Amino acid sequence: MAENDIGGALDLTVASLGEGVVRLGVSAALPEISAWQERLAASGDPGLSAVAETLSELKAQLDPDGFDPVSVGALLMSLGDQVERVAGAEVGEQVGRKLSQLGVLLGKEGDALTDRATRV
């Protein structure tokens, strides 16, 4: 996939998450997760493959029958950390700023989801 395509896809993902993961909803999130999972798994890069594995875990956690907001929040925070690490690596050179933005956003959303779920 060309860097411009990746940059554009990152822009769309960041925009989708801009109003929060809860507002985005599972039905909108699943195709986005699947598309990124396929894209990253096909890259052959170990860092990106690790992100693809975490996306696979996230998809499994979004099953409505077993949805656990704390687990999903923790996975989003982990995913945010992974994306930020990739942004600083060679593979993230061309889109590092966008990856960093996405990583921070995922981490914040995971933290917010976990906080909402654990409030008494």
**Cα-Cα-Cα-Cα dihedral sign, residues 49, 82, 21, 66:** positive
Question: Which pLDDT score, from 0 to 100, does residue 72 have?
Answer: 92
- Supply the DSSP symbol for 45: -
Tens of pLDDT, residues 34-77: 999 998 888 888 888 999 999 999 999 988 787 888 999 999 99
Question: Which pLDDT score, from 0 to 100, does residue 120 have?
Answer: 57
Q: Are 106 and 18 in contact (CB under 8 A)?
A: no
Question: Which pLDDT score, from 0 to 100, does residue 1 have?
Answer: 44
Domain boundaries, the chain: 3-118
Tell me the C-alpha to C-alpha distance, in Å, between residue 88 and each of 60, 77, 112: 28, 17, 25
What pTM was estimated for this model as a whole? 0.83
Structure tokens, 39: 């894209």
